[in-house]
Structure 1
Amino acid sequence: MSKLFVSSFTHPIARSTLAGPSRLPHRPFSSIPPVSGRQVLGRITPKRIAVPRSAVENGSFSGSTREGAGLTNSSSSLPRRSIWRPIVFCGLLGGGGYAAAAIYTNNDTQQWGDKLGGSSWWRKGQSQPSDREIQRAKQLEGARSAQKTLNNLPNTLSFLPNFLLIPVLRTYVMASEYYLNTPSAQLAPMGLIFVMGNVFVWWKLRRLEPFMRKWWLHRPIVFGTKRDEWRNCVTMFTSVLSHQSLPHLAFNSLALFSFGSAAYSYISSSPSFPSLTSSTHTPHFLAFLLTAGLFSSLGSHLWTNIFRYPALMKALTHPARISRPQALMSHQGILPSLGASGAIYAALTLTACAYPDSSVGIIFIPFVSVPIGMGVAGMVTLDLIGLFRGWRLFDHVAHLSGALFGFVYYRVGREAWQWTREQFGAQPKGSGLF
């Protein structure tokens, strides 16, 4: 945030002199007559107020101590150390989202299996439809639905003149064909990019700015009650979809479309042991990004509260402190965070591990590409340097947490997904169930 420093200055007043030893009589600017003599106000002795250790650890002062230290009861109170509540929140939301995605995949697979196999193959062990057959059937079903909608559109939009109706129908046809012919590995990242674009537009609406700052920015340091701490946990999820600047949104969208599509292709492939029939892999992909985004947000949050919180409290409780707590936080680089970079780092690392022979391009240097492993290693090294040198441009801990999550998910992610689906009733191919 840029700051404007304004320095005050005074102009010297030239004194005019007359010839000879005499000077013009001095006339004060004030009309109040000067007070004879010098008034002594007395001597002011500054006092230092000691802060009890218990008050520091509990994150609150008593009324007299708070007033004596120059703190108010609202925005200037001491922050709370926030550790276990964010862990519980991310565990519940990430685990619940992962389980919900597995349940949806099982139900959707069973419905399409019933349509293609007459429902008897679930119990009698008959031949199960393959993933490719289900995808083909879903594409044909989508084409029939799009054709039905196209046939009804002229009647629905009969109030439009022909010069408007015809472009609308052509646009619908092109959009439907693109949706039906585009693989899911590209449609899923595009859907997330659409959501992030809408959140970006909300940031540009001045009326929504207070709402966006409260619910779409994550602040690792919490001022307030336990309820405020729980409320702050929500932003660990919403901030992943939030971007304030257009370059930030553009770079993340490009990276998500590229590496997200590759990560989708990998997690949709079968592991070495008997796999499960799947009608869709989009829930798995969304669950992967959800848990990756939460893990990166949690890593950054815990790093601040475990390693940087003590230094902040030492500065806040210093007897000579005159700055507000928020100003000290900004000075120490403890700033609100937002963006999907952590989840994208997870997709990038997963792609690098799954496809080590691929290459990545450098966005600012066209026609130049490097091996993806070298590129990821360079980015991780840069984040490590930025972390230990205190660079404030990026959230380096979130990036490193996302990279760690992507590596771990490459090792055990597909097996964990299959195990989760099996806990909700799915069974490997050839067992009579889905």
Structure 2
Amino acid sequence: MFNNIPPITRNIIIINVIVFIVTYILGDKIVEYLAAFYPFSPYFHSWQIITHMFMHGGLMHILFNMMTLFSFGPILEQTLGDKKYLILYFASGLGAFFLFNAWNFVEVQTISRELQELGFNVNAYLSGASVNFSGSTDTIIRQKELLGSLNDIITIPMLGASGAIFGVVAAFATLYPDSKIGIMFIPVPIKVKYLLPIIVVISVYLGVSGNGGGIAHLAHVGGALVGWLLARNWKKHLYRFN
């Protein structure tokens, strides 16, 4: 059955599985090297904007992503052809990275501004200076809270193929809007043109509200947005390359 999967989708799945196994063997060092850190973090490297798409945080993470790609990828690969399918996949992954970190940038600026107002020298801290809290007890508590949030953005990377795969799903929903799929907790199949907007709205809320539970929800939105834009443009000329 695996040999019947179109080559691009099959190879993406194989690469993800290989990287997952290597990561499991080598541990955190490879995560630090290949996962995508905030672009202004000292841990960021340019290649991470690509390599993070092949990293996963656990068995269930990679299983869910690869099963989703297996479900939607082959149809799109056959419809769009190799070149456009590859563009869709990697452009969606890049869109995920940039939207997620655009929001991170907004948060960093907001946190830094409040820290400065509380008398904390953010620039000195980011340059490697020792932490120096000052002010009232309440002020110091707030400084520590904000600094913890700032450190989370700088030191916790994003990883996974979810952004790229959300782009694939969004493209599928754009090209085949009346297709019905089953999903957990919904007893009947639902058309993808209704399901995808619901998922995107929920992801935006969770990403902006900070209730994401460690999931990069805005990365999903970024991937879906790019996938929708590409498929919407390509749909006008579908028969030209189908």
> For residues 232 and 297 of structure 1, what CA distance do their matches in structure 2 show?
13
Q: Distance in 2 between matches of 1:399 and 1:304?
A: 14
Q: Higher helix share goes to which structure? A: 2
What is the SS of the residue equivalent to 2:189?
strand
Partner AA of 1:218 in structure 2: A
Q: 1:196 to 1:315 in 2, by over 3 A?
A: farther
| Counterpart in the other structure of 1:265 | 78
Match of 1:380 in 2: 200
Per the alignment, residue 288 of structure 1 pairs with 88
Aligned equivalent of 1:409:
230
Aligned length in residues: 218
| CA displacement at 1:330 relative to structure 2 | 5.3
Look up the match of 2:49: 236
Please tell me whether the aligned partners of residues 196 and 241 of structure 1 are also in contact (alpha carbons under 8 angstroms).
Answer: yes
In structure 1, the partner of 2:40 is: 222
Q: Does 1:395 align with 2:216?
A: yes
The answer as to whether partners of 1:346 and 1:405 remain within 8 angstroms in 2 is: yes
Structure number with bigger Rg: 1
Cα distance in 1 between the residues matched to 2:24 and 2:193: 37
8 Å Cα contact 1:222/1:232 also seen in 2:
no
AA at the equivalent of 2:12: L
- Matches of 1:324 and 1:388 in 2, distance apart? 18
**Deviation of the 1:208 alpha carbon:** 4.6
What amino acid maps onto 1:343 in structure 2? A
Q: How far did residue 409 of structure 1 move?
A: 0.6
Partner of 2:109: 310
**Cα distance between partner residues in 2 of 1:413 and 1:223:** 36
Range 390-399 or range 250-259, more displaced: 390-399
Question: CA–CA distance in 1 between the matches of 2:41 and 2:8?
Answer: 37
What is the rounded CA distance, in whole Å, between the counterparts of 1:366 and 1:404 in structure 2?
24
Cα RMSD of the aligned pairs, angstroms, is: 3.2
Q: 1:252: which partner in 2? A: 65
SS of the equivalent of 2:113 reads helix
Aligned partner of residue 397 in structure 1, secondary structure: helix
Greater RCO, CA 8 A, separation 6+: 2
Partner Cα separation in structure 1 for residue 49 and residue 234 of structure 2: 22
Moved over 4 A (4+): 321-326, 330-334, 414-417
Determine the C-alpha separation between the residues in 1 that align with 2:198 and 2:154: 24
- Cα 1:261/1:220, change in 2 over 3 Å: same
- State the Cα deviation string for residues 321-362 of structure 1 (Å, max 9, x = none): 574987333567983211111111111111111111211111
TM-score by length of 2: 0.77
Deviation of 1:365 (Å): 4.4
Matched, 1:368 2:188: yes
Gaps of 5+ in 2: 121-132, 135-139
Letter in 2 for 1:299: L
Shift of 1:284: 3.1
Question: SS of the counterpart of 1:360?
Answer: strand
Write the distance in 2 (CA, Å) between the matches of 1:283 and 1:353: 18
5+ residue gaps, structure 1, are 1-174, 268-280, 418-427, 430-434
1:357 corresponds to which of 154, 178, 181? 178
**CA separation in 2, counterparts of 1:383 and 1:373?**
16
CA displacement 1:25-61 (0-9 Å, x = unmatched): xxxxxxxxxxxxxxxxxxxxxxxxxxxxxxxxxxxxx
Distance 2:70 2:200 in 1: 21
Say whether residues 1:336 and 2:135 are aligned partners: no
Q: 1:366 to 1:194 in 2, by over 3 A?
A: farther
Q: What is the identity percentage for the equivalent residue pairs of Structure 1 and Structure 2?
A: 21
The residue number in structure 1 matching 2:28 is: 209
How do 1:410-429 and structure 2 match up within 5 A? 410-413=231-234
SS state at 1:247 partner: helix
Aligned partner letter, 1:201: I
**CA–CA separation in structure 2 for the residues paired with 1:334 and 1:209:** 13
CA contact (8 A) 2:37 2:154 kept: no
CA distance in 2, matches of 1:348, 1:335: 27
